[in-house]
Amino acid sequence: MDEPTAFLDPDISDLVRKYILNKVKTEKTSVLFTSHNMAEVTEICDRVIFLNKGKIVAEDTPVGLTKRIKFCKVRLFFDLNLGKAELLLKNYKYNFSSVEKEILVDIEEEKVGQLLGRLSLAKLKYSQITIEKPTLDGWPFFGLLIWGLTISFLQNNSSSNFSFITMIIGGIVFWEIIVQPQREISINFIDEMWNKNILNLFASPLTKAEYLTALVIIGIIKMFITVISLTIGSIVLYKFNIFASFGLHIPILFINLIIFGITLGLFVNSLILRFGISVQEIAWAIVAIVQPFSCVLYPLSSLPVWVQRISVVLPPTYVFEEMRRILFSNKIEINNLIFAFLLNLLYLVLTIWFFSVMFEKAREHGRLVKLN
């Protein structure tokens, strides 16, 4: 049976599972059951095999597998009772974060089984689970790069009249304008994939344009909430008002960053359509990869030549350059922002085309149901 409950509501899914268990018991037969729903696997199966790219990577009982897990992150998806799950994790003092229907728990390897047991005892059913180690080993490099470049710039300009605190706060707030739309577009898309709801969505009259527009609107709303909260914090703590500092230049600065965030989100979704859920980590990694080259906290001129060659083709570079120009000289080179806008439009059009092609190929080959 290949995911027999994938498109069923919870009540019917429960009936199907009971029917399968009854058939196994009364007819004393075996069932080959394929699923990504680990709660369902635990309930039905007495032997579990994990496959990765056609190869068996683990085989044991459900309990035995949880004891052998060698990962340090547990990603859980809850269709219901997310709040109760968060409360349980808080009570047991787990280190976790949550976004939409997803909870990511950082946990010691040997305690994964204990976590799943506690969820089971509390009757908190998760619809999906992934247990993973970080797979992008290059992430630390990008952190090293951005902070190394920032510190180098600050040291070289320690005697200048720059207001470094406003530069850094401005960079942090403006960067969130990219991060929030990208994360919302990508993570909501991944959530629909995990819940196997994409096919249902597009079986309705909903068009790709309408679906993507909804994701973009949600991302922009959350972006404004984040920016406003950060602005209030910067006013209270540092007496720095983003809106007062940039005034009438805010719209063109924001528009460029929002478009770039949308483009990154759509690009990630296109990669998932092409390569499957196995590359979902890129949804969290892509901003970390792009940030060092975007001149968020330091000027383009302070970068090594090889980094500059990458930075000049990224629209945010011009936005952050003009942000600093406004802060330090109250001037702006509007041509730079127009060029950034044109670059953004080019990348956005190419990304929409890429997404459309990948979506149609995924639908044509039936991968909208099994993007893993």
Average pLDDT (163-186) is 84
Q: Across residues 143-148, what is the average pLDDT?
A: 52
Range 1-64 has CATH code 3.40.1190.20: no
Indicate if the pLDDT at residue 249 is higher than 80: yes
pLDDT at res. 150: 58
The segment(s) of the chain belonging to CATH 3.30.70.980 are 69-133
Q: Which fold would CATH assign to domain 69-133?
A: Alpha-Beta Plaits (3.30.70)
Alpha helix positions (H), the chain? 10-27, 38-44, 62-68, 82-91, 112-121, 139-156, 164-194, 198-203, 208-238, 242-246, 250-275, 282-290, 305-311, 315-329, 334-364
CA distances from 14 to 132, 144, 154, 370 (A): 28, 49, 60, 22
pLDDT at 134: 46
Tally of CA atoms within 13 A in the half-sphere of 149 that contains its CB: 22
pLDDT of residue 267: 95
CA 153 from chain centre, in angstroms, equals 30
Tokens of 315: 């629209």
Q: Count the residues in the chain.
A: 372
pLDDT at 313: 95
Reported as a single tens digit per residue, the pLDDT across 125-144 is 777 776 665 444 444 455 54
Sign of the alpha-carbon torsion through 23, 66, 369, 189: positive
Q: What is the pLDDT of residue 63?
A: 63
DSSP code for 34: B
Structure tokens at 358: 């990948």
Q: Where do you find CATH 3.40.50.300 in the chain?
A: 1-64
As a whole number of angstroms, the distance between CA 166 and CA 234 comes to: 9
Which residues on neighbouring strands pair with residue 295, listed in sequence order? none
**Mean predicted lDDT score pLDDT of the chain:** 80
